[in-house]
């Protein structure tokens, strides 16, 4: 009887090992395919599944490599995003849209607080706002507050990587101010990011 139990335990262990090996092989193949296609997030998912077995040194090293790639891509993304943000702020400032340009310059300050141009423009916008009479109705002021609140919340969700929530908040901001280029640009960026993840 004892031998039968030991034989049964051995058989279950072998069966479990072979199922894990097949699963690891499939995950590794999927990871390699996604890595080759530069779909790093999906590759990371599959390499991590293989790397759970700590003897899989190749998968573990690939996980570390992908983290390095993603971090460097984030840096490039933020630099590109910052440049686009300042260009958009400049163009909205030039057409006289002080509300949007002020928001965009403030957002660029969040990415890089030491930039001089956004600081100068914010000061200039504040001076222009102070020199103009306040002609907005209280309902317009409330809409502006709601618009800014939506953009701030959307940006916060975007920064946390909660792209679906950010997308919905940018859509609501567009509902209030249909001509906002920034929210449309952010939606495009989210579409690009989420298509990479899918």
Quickly list DSSP for 48-60: HHHHTSTT-HHHH
SS3 (DSSP) at 112: coil
What's the number of CA atoms in the CB half-sphere (13 Å) around residue 132? 11
Question: 133: which DSSP letter?
Answer: -
Give the Cβ contact number of residue 35 at 10 Å. Answer: 19
Q: Which of 94, 97, 93, 122 is nearest to 107 (CA)?
A: 122
Q: What is the DSSP letter of 152?
A: H
| CB 109 within 8 Å of CB 122 | yes
- pLDDT (tens, 9 = 90+) of the chain, 198 residues, equals 555 544 444 444 433 444 445 566 787 787 788 777 777 667 777 778 877 766 777 777 877 877 777 666 666 666 777 788 888 888 888 888 887 788 888 888 877 778 888 889 988 988 887 877 777 778 878 888 888 899 989 988 988 888 899 999 999 999 888 777 788 888 888 887 776 555
Q: Return the percent helix, strand and coil in the chain, to nearest 5.
A: 85, 0, 15
How far apart are the C-alpha atoms of 40 and 142, rounded to whole Å?
Answer: 43
In the chain, where the domains are located: 23-72, 73-197
**pTM tops 0.75:** no
């Amino acid at each position: 009887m004892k031998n039968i139990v030991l034989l049964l335990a051995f058989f279950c262990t072998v069966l479990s090992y072979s199922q894990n090996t097949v699963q690891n092989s499939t995950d590794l193949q999927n990871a390699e395919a996604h890595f080759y296609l530069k779909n790093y997030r999906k590759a990371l998912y599959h390499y991590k599944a293989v790397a759970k077995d700590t003897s899989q040194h190749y998968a573990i090293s690939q996980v570390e490599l992908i983290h390095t790639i993603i971090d460097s891509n984030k840096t490039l993304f933020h630099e590109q995003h910052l440049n686009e943000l300042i260009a958009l702020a400049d163009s909205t400032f030039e057409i006289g849209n002080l509300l949007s340009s002020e928001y965009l310059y403030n957002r660029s300050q969040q990415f890089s607080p030491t930039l001089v141009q956004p600081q100068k423009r914010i000061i200039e916008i504040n001076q222009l706002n102070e020199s103009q009479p306040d002609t907005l109705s209280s309902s317009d002021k409330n809409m502006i507050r709601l618009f800014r609140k939506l953009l701030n919340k959307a940006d916060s969700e975007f920064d946390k990587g909660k792209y679906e929530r950010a997308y919905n908040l940018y859509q609501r901001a567009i509902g209030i101010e249909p001509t906002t280029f920034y929210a449309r640009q952010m939606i495009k960026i989210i579409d690009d990011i989420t298509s990479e993840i899918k």
